C-alpha cells in the first residue's frame, strides 16, 4: 500500500485549519489504499521519508522563510534520503501573515535539490484561511494522495 508522509509545523490555529483540510483531502474515501502518516517536522525522521512514497509539507512563513522546524527536518533527511527519494511526488502549503515568498522559494529550492516532483503549485494562505482556502487545501491533499495510487 502506498504511503503518504505528511510533515508539518503547526504552531497556530490557522495552520491547524490548513492541516486538517489537507488531511481530509488526503483521506478522502474516493482515494483507496493510501496510508497517511502524519509527523510533526521536529520528530519526522529519515527512515520515515525513505519508507514513504510521497510527501505533503506544511509550514508557516517565519521572518520570510520556512519554519525552523521544517528547516531542521530538511537538514536531517537531506543526505540520507537524497538518492533514494528522487522522483517522488510532493505537495506543500505555507501560511503567513505577510510575505510568504521566501518560504515558497526555500521549499522549491530544497525539494528541487532532493529531486522531488511537485504535483501542484505550493499553496499559500495569508491571514485567516477562508472557505476557498480550505477547499483548495483539501484538493491539494487529495491530489498528492491520488498521485500515489496511479503509480
**Residue whose entry in the numeric block shows the C-alpha cell 505537495:** 91
Q: Is the dihedral of CA 27, 7, 56, 68 positive or negative?
A: positive
**Cα(33)–Cα(109) distance, integer angstroms:** 31
Across the range 79-95, mean pLDDT stands at: 98
What pLDDT shows up at residue 129?
A: 97
Query: 21-69: per-residue pLDDT in tens?
Result: 999 999 999 999 999 999 999 999 999 999 999 999 999 998 889 999 9
Contacts of 83 by beta carbon, 8 Å cutoff, 6+ apart: none
Q: Is the pLDDT of residue 80 over 80?
A: yes
**Cα(106)–Cα(128) distance, integer angstroms:** 23
Question: What are the extents of the domains in the chain?
Answer: 3-149
What pLDDT shows up at residue 98?
A: 85
Question: Mapping DSSP to helix (H, G, I), strand (E, B) and coil, where does residue 98 land?
Answer: coil
Query: 120-133: per-residue pLDDT in tens?
Result: 999 999 999 999 99
Could you tell me the fold of the domain covering 3-149? Rossmann fold (3.40.50)
Rounded mean pLDDT of the chain?
A: 97
Q: Are 139 and 103 in contact (CB under 8 A)?
A: no
**Cα(144)–Cα(151) distance, integer angstroms:** 12
What pLDDT shows up at residue 151?
A: 57
Amino acid at each position: 500500500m502506498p504511503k503518504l508522509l505528511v510533515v508539518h509545523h503547526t504552531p497556530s490555529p490557522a495552520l491547524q485549519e490548513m492541516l486538517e483540510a489537507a488531511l481530509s483531502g488526503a483521506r478522502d474515501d474516493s482515494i483507496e489504499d493510501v496510508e497517511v502518516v502524519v509527523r510533526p517536522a521536529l520528530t519526522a525522521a529519515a527512515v520515515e521519508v525513505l519508507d514513504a512514497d510521497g510527501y505533503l509539507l506544511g509550514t508557516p512563513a517565519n521572518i520570510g522563510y520556512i519554519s525552523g522546524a521544517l528547516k531542521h527536518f530538511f537538514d536531517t533527511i537531506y543526505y540520507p534520503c537524497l538518492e533514494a527519494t528522487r522522483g517522488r511526488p510532493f505537495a506543500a502549503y505555507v501560511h503567513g501573515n505577510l510575505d510568504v515568498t521566501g518560504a515558497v522559494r526555500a521549499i522549491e529550492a530544497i525539494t528541487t535539490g532532493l529531486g522531488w516532483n511537485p504535483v501542484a503549485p505550493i499553496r499559500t494562505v495569508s491571514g485567516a484561511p477562508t472557505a476557498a482556502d480550505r477547499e483548495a487545501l483539501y484538493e491539494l491533499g487529495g491530489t498528492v494522495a491520488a498521485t500515489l495510487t496511479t503509480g
